[in-house]
Chains A and B, each alone.
Chain A
């Protein structure tokens, strides 16, 4: 591949500029405000800020296993949801692209339906299916597979099921998009040359799909990280997540400085996770 840029630097800047400017004005400025806010404190029993700079909010988060635990749960739960989505979306997207034929459009439509009607309605539908007296437990019981109801609500299992159901489209669409561009001949040629299926996947298909996998994974991960309605309803308030903590503090307690500090700490964790990921990839890349 040539490494020479295809377009001139100032054209690049003009292309990237508008989006970057928007992000700066509407996202970065409020973010900087939050950063300052996180070093202020809320006057008890009032909505006014005490603008005396303090690290009290951070000390409260790092000194309390409740908040750190909630952030940690959210991180690994989002990772888990991302992996499950990838495992489910891969065969589905591949089948839709290669086999579905004329039904392709309809199938793509069906697979993005969870995004269509918002978080609330499908989540309430899931509550009906997963509840102790719901459809799934009823079916398993009548098949004689279980004796008493499986607890599928009010725990991590339920939240994970809900998040996977809600955000699978965010994985499926990027995968389909990149698979459309994947020449099928590559695979056939490699197979006809006697390469084993696994090798074909590892050497040819996965590298070509990588941009789609990265896009889908990032979207699902971030969406799970900040999801509010789905974990709240399916966790029945018992699963503490980043979004539920931030919502409680920002919208109910109205302690904006503390809510800001929570968001900043999560960003620090994400940055660390990203750096760790980059480090591992680099090492792994060198080794192979």
Chain B
């Protein structure tokens, strides 16, 4: 009896926390269907006009594509580098472990605008300003700390004796990696990829200063009119679609994952 009560309490707490996280996003979803010209909640009239506008706006489409592409490239590089480094630090336990851990976290402690201005000055001296390489390097640098931190935590949790046991049973290093380490590290890899991608996808400050004209991302486009004109309701509709798409992706991904396990 007591445990059922505490179960119900736990559930209530969990739902309350979820509601808190999601409330602003619910506002966003509602406002996307507003028929008016401005961001308003609750909406006064409902319409799909901003969704239509989103699909008829080639600039938004191309900037969403650029954001996605940049996010994927930055994530792949950042998560790979972070995983390798985390593996080295956790398994190798070098004397310089603490120093490198601090170095891998450090970019999170500077205000991005100050760092981006300094980076742009250096890029300009090297002739790298406005290039895609420079932009990707900058995005990898702001996403790597997130991935590194999560991968260090993940690998810390994996008992090295599992790997040692597999090795002593005659597994090659590649087999150990494929059969033992990677599956155990998978949740960490997924988490760090998700966070790295989202940090890159949503960055405004660094991209505004570092990106060349051919690489205007979706958030940069959104913010470039914020002070002068205010928010474009089209952006809200796009935000709502991104939310829906993310959830769909997770559901489909989970289903595929379960299917792949069954066979």
What residues make up the interface of A, taking CB atoms closer than 8 Å to B?
3, 5-9, 11-16, 18-20, 22-31, 33-34, 37, 88, 91-92, 95, 104-126, 128-129, 135, 165, 168-170, 173-174, 176-178, 180-182, 208, 211-212, 214-215, 218-219, 222-223, 225-226, 228-229, 242-243, 246-247, 250-251, 256, 259-260, 262-263, 266-267, 270
Contacts and interface: CB of A to CB of B under 8 A. Distances in A.
Contacts of A31: 106, 110, 115, 118
A9 B92 contact: yes
A119 to B, nearest CB: 7
A263 B226 CA distance: 26
A259 B106 CA distance: 17
Nearest to B236: A121
A222 B114 CA distance: 16
A11 B13 contact: no
Contacts, number: 295
A169 B110 contact: no
A19 B148 contact: yes
A155 B30 CA distance: 27
Given A30-B115, A214-B153, A15 B21 contact: no
A7 B110 contact: no
Contact of B93 (A5, A119, A125, A263): A5
A276 B82 CA distance: 28
Nearest to A173: B191
Contacts of B109: 222, 225-226, 266-267, 270
Nearest to A161: B20
A211 B239 CA distance: 33
A45 to B, nearest CB: 19
10 contacts: A11-B88, A15-B87, A19-B81, A20-B85, A92-B18, A106-B247, A114-B24, A125-B23, A181-B184, A243-B111
B154 A177 contact: yes
B150 A105 contact: no
B171 interface: no
B184 to A, nearest CB: 7
A259 B153 CA distance: 33
B250 interface: yes
Contacts of B54: none
A211 to B, nearest CB: 4
Interface string B150-166: 10111011101001100
B212 interface: no
A260 B114 CA distance: 7
Given A125-B23, A177-B154, A178-B157, A30 B119 contact: yes
B152 A215 contact: yes
A112 B18 contact: no
A195 to B, nearest CB: 17
A128 B41 contact: yes
A122 B28 contact: yes
A178 B156 CA distance: 9
A244 B115 CA distance: 14
A226 B110 contact: yes
A29 B103 CA distance: 12
